[in-house]
Amino acid sequence: MASALLWAEPLFAQSDSTIHRDVKAVDVEAHTQKRQAVPMQTMSAVEIQQLGVQNLADAVRRFSGTNVKDYGGVGGLKTVSVRGLGAAHTAVSYDGVVVSDCQAGHIDIGRFDIGSIETIELTIGQHDGLLQSASAFAHAAMLSISTRKPNFAERQTDANVRLKGGSFGYFDTQFEAARKVHHSTLSGMVQFMRSNGDYRYTIPNVDSTVRGRRDNSDIRSARAEINLTTTDSSRFQNHLKAYGFYSERGLPGSVIFYYQQAKERLADKNFFVQNDCRLRLHDNLMLRFQAKYNYSWNRYEDTNVKYTSGRYVELNTQHEGYLSAAGLWSWRPIDVALAGDVIYNTLESDIKDNPQPRRLTLLSALNVRAVLQRFEATVTLVARHTSEKVEFGARPDDLKRFTPAFSLKWSNNRVTIRAMAKETYRVPTFNELYYTTLGTTLLKPEDARELNVGFDFGTGKFDFSADFYVNDVDNKIVAIPTLYVWKMANYGKVKIWGADVAAGTEFDIAEVKLKLTANYSYQKAIDVTNSNSKLYKSQIPYTPLHSGKAAAVATFGKYSLSATSIVSGKRYFLEYNIPDNEIEAYAEFSATATRRFDIGTSHLTASLSCLNITDNQYSVIKYYPMPGRQFQLQLNFFL
């Protein structure tokens, strides 16, 4: 929604000033990136290029309070969890429509290409914008991705070509073109990417070192998109998108000492078509309709003598139908928004004993907001009804839940003070419910409660924000090892305390513009399940107590130079907090130089990046080493 409003903004700005003011009054927060009732962080295409950001996961891990689980390499799984809540608690939206995966629950954010992104926005709690689908209110955090919009300032046709190449056989090319026709814009893009991913790594092993090269880590992918956006003055705007994706990759697996024989392969296909339409019926009434059909397919293959036929193949197909309608009525000082979604998901799989589940979800969200001078208070109520059907075997009981959220904000020109409380949960995934031997239909949703207080201070030259939070997770869905197999269970309570502090400043030294940003996160996330357990109060795996990020960008004329660092304290890779289970702290440094060349009305930017300059041999996930030092060259030509 936020992203959609961002692209809506110029449109409405061109229109009747009275209407503009009304519209702006309704969603004024969307235009000011900070100043929200909840913590929100953004990154723009310009920053992405200047900082040499590699992929979406690399962008998100620069935000504070995030924990990106990165299995390494271009093709390695990358999921984002926010403030100690599991990855499935964070929704991902792509050009305004929520992306889902009912089978795995989490979204692999490594799959989204960074090259065509205009802005990335991470909101904890929920966005201040009210005209959103009900799904957008039903998660603990939201990562919104908005793709680049054509620039028709100079002409009726816009095009750009990107070439990217780098270490470990990485090559990526992308072509985008857009044409303006009356009130509509038609754009299309294609992208191809490949990588060998065969980087070297070293891992300490007692007094010796395991040296190896990532094997079976290659990936090839292709993507195409078509967008049709139509706007009719300020009353109507519509964005129709069709998206297709294919990839084939090796899964290198974890490094097993003395033995590497990764043979697993994964192929993915994804196709969706979505439409996002906004109507302003009246000065005080806006409507929004979304529709989506999503098809995703994957094929997993493993070769090993342990299978009777020497090979194991698994096919999974998911379909999703999605409809959403939302309305926003504004009678200052009260705004009321109501949204209703209908979502239908199916999974067809040849996994043994898979009951071919189908899930129907009805979601609705009511928001009421009061704005009184500098105060703004919002109450949200989300209702869900989920029911499932299976071909055979047990199915979970229907799920009916109401969850509230509340936020309060006070702001003036420079300062925003905020407080937020939100209750959410995540529905068990199809794998957790039905996967052979592992799943159980008795699972309840995993509950999460968020409390946040914080403030922003900003002068334009200097910005500072600090947020303090307490989160609770209950009925945590975990895999419990048994004598023979792992079993899913609602077993676990986690208590999380944390603080996210960020600061940024911009100033000039002679001709050079300098921008410095840094953030620091503290996160204590402890297991409080069972006071008799040896694990009681131990820090949950993969959660550093301290982490921080810093970036510096210097721009002078057509040149820019950046240096970035990501620092993470020690973590544990298992629940038991003993030194044997520690993963070392790490610091990663990268630098990027960019130059812009003007060619008539066109221009070219060239960027050279050195990533992980110190060749630090670290891993985010134990025994999934990250790439060492690598170089990348990127050329971007804009017509």
Partner 1 sequence: MKKQFVKILSLCVLGAATVFVSCDKDEDDEKPEVKTEKRVYILNEGSWNGNNSTLDVYYPDGENTYQSKIFAAANGQGLGDTGQDILAYGDRIYVSVWGSNYLAKLDQKGKIIEKHEFTADEGQPRQLAVKDGFIYVSTYGGKVIKFDTTTIATSNGSVEVGPHPEGICISGNTLYATIAGDYNVAYDSTLAVVDLTNFTLKDKFVVGLDPNIVLAVKDELYVIHYTDPLAGTQEIMSVDPTAKTSTLFSDGSKIATDGENLYYVKSFTDYSEYPIVKTVTSFAKKDSETSPLDLTSTPELSSAIVYLFEIDPDNGDFYVGTTDYATNGVIYRFDKNGKFITKFETSSISPSHAAFLK
The binding track of 100-129 with respect to partner 1, each residue x by CB under 8 A or -, is: ----x-------------------------
Judged by beta carbon, residue 12 or residue 435, the one nearer partner 1 is 435
Judged by beta carbon, residue 157 or residue 205, the one nearer partner 1 is 205
Q: Which of 352, 372, 373, 579 binds partner 1 (CB under 8 A)?
A: 352
The binding track of 429-448 with respect to partner 1, each residue x by CB under 8 A or -, is: --x---x-xx-x-xx-----
Q: Which of 300, 462, 468, 589 binds partner 1 (CB under 8 A)?
A: 300
Q: Which stretch binds partner 1 (CB under 8 A): 204-212, 324-332, 398-406, 545-553?
A: 204-212
The answer to whether residues 243 and 225 touch, using CB atoms and an 8 Å cutoff, is: yes
The answer to whether residues 293 and 273 touch, using CB atoms and an 8 Å cutoff, is: yes
Judged by beta carbon, residue 66 or residue 490, the one nearer partner 1 is 490
Interaction residues for partner 1, span 445-504 (CB under 8 A): 475, 479-487, 489-491
Supply the DSSP string of 524-537, one letter for each residue: EEEE-S-TTSTTTT
Shortest spacing between CB 117 and partner 1, in angstroms:
26
Q: Which of 17, 182, 305, 579 binds partner 1 (CB under 8 A)?
A: 305
| Residue 304 lies near partner 1 (rule: CB under 8 A) | yes
The binding track of 260-289 with respect to partner 1, each residue x by CB under 8 A or -, is: -x--x-------------------------
Judged by beta carbon, residue 205 or residue 601, the one nearer partner 1 is 205
User: Which ranges in 29-174 belong to alpha helices (H)?
Assistant: 45-51, 56-60
Interaction residues for partner 1, span 231-260 (CB under 8 A): 251, 253-259
Look up residue 234 and give its DSSP letter.
T
Shortest spacing between CB 479 and partner 1, in angstroms:
7
Which residue type does 246 have? Y
| Residue 394 lies near partner 1 (rule: CB under 8 A) | no
| Residue 308 lies near partner 1 (rule: CB under 8 A) | yes
| Residue 313 lies near partner 1 (rule: CB under 8 A) | no
Judged by beta carbon, residue 493 or residue 595, the one nearer partner 1 is 493
Judged by beta carbon, residue 283 or residue 350, the one nearer partner 1 is 350
How is residue 481 written in tokens? 């090892």
Residues contacting 308, CB < 8 A, separation 6+? none
The answer to whether residues 299 and 289 touch, using CB atoms and an 8 Å cutoff, is: no
Number of residues binding to partner 1, judged by CB under 8 A: 56
Which residue type does 106 have? H
Rounded distance between C-alpha atoms, residue 1 and residue 290, angstroms:
11
Interaction residues for partner 1, span 521-550 (CB under 8 A): 534-535
Closest CA to 238 of 292, 181, 185, 159: 185
CA-to-CA dists, residue 118 to 7, 29, 276, 320, angstroms: 10, 19, 18, 26
Closest CA to 237 of 224, 228, 245, 246: 228
CA-to-CA dists, residue 115 to 55, 223, 510, angstroms: 8, 12, 32
Shortest spacing between CB 345 and partner 1, in angstroms:
17
The binding track of 31-70 with respect to partner 1, each residue x by CB under 8 A or -, is: ----------------------------------------
Prior bond to 333 cis, omega within 30?
yes
Judged by beta carbon, residue 322 or residue 435, the one nearer partner 1 is 435
CA-to-CA dists, residue 574 to 206, 620, 622, angstroms: 18, 13, 9
Rounded distance between C-alpha atoms, residue 195 and residue 181, angstroms:
38
The answer to whether residues 89 and 30 touch, using CB atoms and an 8 Å cutoff, is: no
Judged by beta carbon, residue 145 or residue 347, the one nearer partner 1 is 347
The binding track of 146-165 with respect to partner 1, each residue x by CB under 8 A or -, is: --------------------
Interaction residues for partner 1, span 594-613 (CB under 8 A): none
Rounded distance between C-alpha atoms, residue 629 and residue 195, angstroms:
16
Shortest spacing between CB 363 and partner 1, in angstroms:
26
Judged by beta carbon, residue 14 or residue 254, the one nearer partner 1 is 254
Judged by beta carbon, residue 81 or residue 490, the one nearer partner 1 is 490
Shortest spacing between CB 33 and partner 1, in angstroms:
34
Judged by beta carbon, residue 151 or residue 533, the one nearer partner 1 is 533
Residues contacting 32, CB < 8 A, separation 6+? none
Reported in sequence order, the residue ranges of 233-333 that DSSP labels E, i.e. its strands, are 236-251, 264-282, 285-303, 311-331
Distance, CA of 137 to chain centre: 15
Look up residue 46 and give its DSSP letter.
H
Shortest spacing between CB 390 and partner 1, in angstroms:
17
CA-to-CA dists, residue 238 to 143, 156, 291, 330, angstroms: 22, 19, 11, 22
CA-to-CA dists, residue 201 to 616, 623, 626, angstroms: 10, 10, 8
Gyration radius of the chain's alpha carbons: 24
Judged by beta carbon, residue 305 or residue 509, the one nearer partner 1 is 305
Rounded distance between C-alpha atoms, residue 57 and residue 620, angstroms:
12
Q: What are the backbone angles phi and psi of residue 141, rounded to the nearest 5°? A: -155, 160
The answer to whether residues 269 and 296 touch, using CB atoms and an 8 Å cutoff, is: yes
Look up residue 43 and give its DSSP letter.
E
Shortest spacing between CB 109 and partner 1, in angstroms:
15
Judged by beta carbon, residue 307 or residue 631, the one nearer partner 1 is 307
Instruction: Count the neighbouring beta carbons within 10 Å of the beta carbon of residue 1.
Output: 31
Shortest spacing between CB 638 and partner 1, in angstroms:
39
| Residue 208 lies near partner 1 (rule: CB under 8 A) | yes
Which helix (H) or strand (E) is 272 found in, with range? strand 264-282
Interaction residues for partner 1, span 566-585 (CB under 8 A): 573-576, 578, 580-581
Q: Which stretch binds partner 1 (CB under 8 A): 213-221, 300-308, 450-458, 510-518?
A: 300-308
Judged by beta carbon, residue 181 or residue 485, the one nearer partner 1 is 485
Q: Which of 59, 77, 109, 130 binds partner 1 (CB under 8 A)?
A: 77
Judged by beta carbon, residue 486 or residue 631, the one nearer partner 1 is 486
Shortest spacing between CB 591 and partner 1, in angstroms:
33
Residues contacting 10, CB < 8 A, separation 6+? none
Shortest spacing between CB 86 and partner 1, in angstroms:
12
Q: Tokens 């439409």 correspond to what residue?
A: 275
| Residue 202 lies near partner 1 (rule: CB under 8 A) | no
The answer to whether residues 385 and 361 touch, using CB atoms and an 8 Å cutoff, is: yes
C-alpha dihedral sign at 80, 83, 85, 91 = negative
Shortest spacing between CB 126 and partner 1, in angstroms:
27
Rounded distance between C-alpha atoms, residue 336 and residue 130, angstroms:
8
Judged by beta carbon, residue 52 or residue 492, the one nearer partner 1 is 492
Which residues here bind partner 1, judged by CB under 8 A?
77, 104, 205-208, 251, 253-259, 261, 264, 300, 302, 304-308, 312, 352, 431, 435, 437-438, 440, 442-443, 475, 479-487, 489-491, 534-535, 573-576, 578, 580-581, 622-623
